[in-house]
């Protein structure tokens, strides 16, 4: 993918700039923001644009209101928190393309910030409806996308608006994500080791197939490995089995036989007699899983082997936990991998961690500072690593030969 036009060296003074941000933050029952990472991640771009005297119009979605107004998913708490973080007032429009948004956008002066209400209150957002995209585009003159997390979706605010405005620029966060993930796919320092885990095979098939052509070693853990073991003829007791993915798992195993990459599956696992924190547990070889027991983490031999492989890596991509890390007895495999990735990074490797659960694990373990790059986009980073073009990135202007 060609490099995209940046906001650096751009002078948007006095211009109305529509900025797609990812303010899809988690809220508790009282609508308090429980994790503001996504807001702070967008601050450099917002500060840069206001510092240049632009009139900044922010757009985001929050949750899945399915095209209807849902007060529980209003972006107002985000506007309030953003104002505190920026230390300037943030105007808040009670609609997206209605009279309030139009009036407030029209009244902005250079350096001011306006946040529109939840884009997904309007069904035109996810449908990429041209009328809705045109109305959004009509609020501003230029488009900036800093929402890597939604770049894999062709929605009105990610694709329709830049099309209507004749292109757009990548914000700093978007630029950084593309540089890290793109660099890892295009010219990784070797050995390149990828670690994939999590429950669902289905969402990771294309990433696994693509990475088998690119990495030196692919380590697999998490609930998805049991479908592999089943396809290899092993008994997996009551471990997670994704029957619908049987064919693709066979395809992956066949590809692994001829691929340049070495595919490593765990040799042992921690099994439990039930899915609970106080379950009885036992460590067994994957060839010895007792009937009615379920594998909930990788075992100690596998942790050692995985850590050893990771310690030799110069490039590391990690997505998905090795076990049910939310329950303390089954968090050990994920912790071991997290530690190994952090140590390899301290020794000079480049590491990228993507996906909500692995990011949560890294934060929980206090290892975030020791990872080269933590991707803000779970789904988007996986699609990117699967080799797909992200529509929201595609819609931005190329860095070369563009004069807007």
Catalytic residue selected from 134, 183, 379, 387: 379
Of 171 and 323, the one with the shorter C-beta distance to ligand AMP is: 323
| Distance of closest approach, residue 243 Cβ to ligand AMP, in angstroms | 15
Residue 200 interacts with ligand AMP (CB under 6 A): yes or no? yes
Say how far apart CA 119 and CA 403 lie, in whole Å. Answer: 29
Catalytic residue selected from 38, 52, 214, 303: 38
Please, what's the b/e burial string for 187-204 (b: 16 or more CB within 10 A of its CB; e: otherwise)?
Answer: ebeebbbbbbbbbebebb
| Distance of closest approach, residue 330 Cβ to ligand AMP, in angstroms | 7
**Using CB under 6 A as the criterion, what x/- string covers residues 305-344 for binding ligand AMP?**
---------------xx-xx-x------------------
Q: Catalytic site residue 356?
A: yes
Of all residues in the shown chain, the one whose CB is closest to ligand AMP is 198
| Distance of closest approach, residue 214 Cβ to ligand AMP, in angstroms | 20
Of 149 and 198, the one with the shorter C-beta distance to ligand AMP is: 198
Residue 223 interacts with ligand AMP (CB under 6 A): yes or no? yes
Residue 296 interacts with ligand AMP (CB under 6 A): yes or no? yes
| Distance of closest approach, residue 224 Cβ to ligand AMP, in angstroms | 7
Residue 42 interacts with ligand AMP (CB under 6 A): yes or no? no
Q: What angle do CA 377, 64, 27 make, to 5 degrees?
A: 75
| Distance of closest approach, residue 217 Cβ to ligand AMP, in angstroms | 20
Given a contact cutoff of 8 angstroms between Cβ atoms, the answer to whether 341 and 318 are in contact is yes
| Rounded CA Rg of the chain | 23
Where in 201-220 is the site for ligand AMP (CB under 6 A)? 203
| Binding segment toward ligand AMP, per CB under 6 A, in 3-11, 158-166, 193-201, 308-316 | 193-201
Of 162 and 223, the one with the shorter C-beta distance to ligand AMP is: 223
| Distance of closest approach, residue 55 Cβ to ligand AMP, in angstroms | 39
Residue 198 interacts with ligand AMP (CB under 6 A): yes or no? yes
Given a contact cutoff of 8 angstroms between Cβ atoms, the answer to whether 162 and 396 are in contact is yes
Catalytic residue selected from 200, 301, 314, 370: 200
Say how far apart CA 22 and CA 1 lie, in whole Å. Answer: 22
| Binding segment toward ligand AMP, per CB under 6 A, in 94-102, 104-112, 147-155, 197-205 | 197-205
| Binding segment toward ligand AMP, per CB under 6 A, in 19-27, 147-155, 198-206, 343-351 | 198-206
Residue 295 interacts with ligand AMP (CB under 6 A): yes or no? yes
Catalytic residue selected from 356, 370, 387, 388: 356
Binding residues for ligand AMP, rule CB under 6 A, total: 16
Burial (Cβ within 10 Å: 0-12, 13-18, ≥19) of residue 247: exposed
Where in 93-122 is the site for ligand AMP (CB under 6 A)? none
Q: Catalytic site residue 53?
A: no
Where in 357-386 is the site for ligand AMP (CB under 6 A)? 357
| Binding segment toward ligand AMP, per CB under 6 A, in 40-48, 103-111, 116-124, 196-204 | 196-204
| Distance of closest approach, residue 198 Cβ to ligand AMP, in angstroms | 2
Binding region for ligand AMP (CB under 6 A): 198-200, 203, 222-223, 240, 295-296, 320-321, 323-324, 326, 355, 357
Give the active site residues: 38, 200, 356, 379
């Amino acid at each position: 993918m060609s490099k995209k036009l940046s906001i650096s060296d751009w002078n948007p003074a006095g211009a109305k700039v529509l900025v797609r941000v990812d303010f899809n933050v988690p809220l508790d029952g009282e609508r308090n923001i429980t994790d503001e990472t996504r807001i702070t991640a967008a601050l450099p771009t917002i500060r840069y644009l206001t510092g240049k005297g632009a009139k900044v119009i922010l757009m985001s979605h929050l949750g899945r209101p399915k095209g209807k107004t849902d007060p529980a998913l209003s972006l107002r708490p985000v506007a309030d928190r953003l104002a505190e973080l920026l230390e300037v007032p943030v105007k808040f429009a009670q609609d997206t393309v209605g009279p309030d948004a139009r009036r407030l956008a029209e009244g902005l002066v250079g350096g001011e910030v306006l946040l529109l209400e939840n884009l997904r209150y309007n069904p035109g957002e996810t449908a990429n409806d041209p009328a809705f995209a045109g109305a959004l585009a009509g609020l501003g003159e230029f488009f900036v996308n800093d929402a890597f997390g939604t770049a894999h979706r062709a929605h009105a605010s990610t694709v329709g608006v830049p099309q209507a405005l004749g292109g757009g620029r990548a914000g700093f966060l978007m630029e950084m994500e593309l540089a890290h993930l793109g660099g890892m796919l295009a010219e990784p320092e070797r050995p390149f080791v990828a670690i994939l885990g999590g429950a669902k095979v289905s969402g990771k098939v294309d990433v696994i197939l693509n990475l088998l052509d690119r990495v030196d070693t692919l380590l697999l853990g998490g609930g998805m490995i049991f479908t592999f073991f089943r396809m290899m003829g092993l008994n997996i007791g009551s471990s997670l089995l994704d029957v619908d993915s049987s064919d693709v798992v066979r395809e992956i195993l066949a590809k692994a036989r001829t691929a340049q990459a070495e595919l490593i599956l765990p040799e042992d696992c921690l099994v439990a007699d039930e899915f609970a924190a106080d379950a009885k547990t036992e460590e067994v070889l994957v060839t010895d899983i007792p009937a009615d027991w379920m594998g909930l983490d990788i075992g100690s031999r596998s942790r050692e082997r995985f850590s050893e492989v990771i310690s030799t890596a110069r490039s590391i991509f990690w997505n998905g936990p090795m076990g049910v890390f939310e329950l303390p007895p089954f968090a050990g495999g994920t912790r071991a991998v997290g530690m190994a990735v952090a140590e390899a990074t301290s020794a000079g490797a480049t590491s990228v961690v993507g996906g909500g659960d692995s990011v949560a694990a890294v934060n929980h373990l206090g290892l975030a500072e020791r990872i080269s790059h933590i991707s803000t986009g779970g789904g988007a980073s996986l699609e990117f690593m699967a080799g797909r073009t992200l529509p929201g990135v595609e819609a931005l202007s190329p860095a070369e030969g563009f004069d807007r």
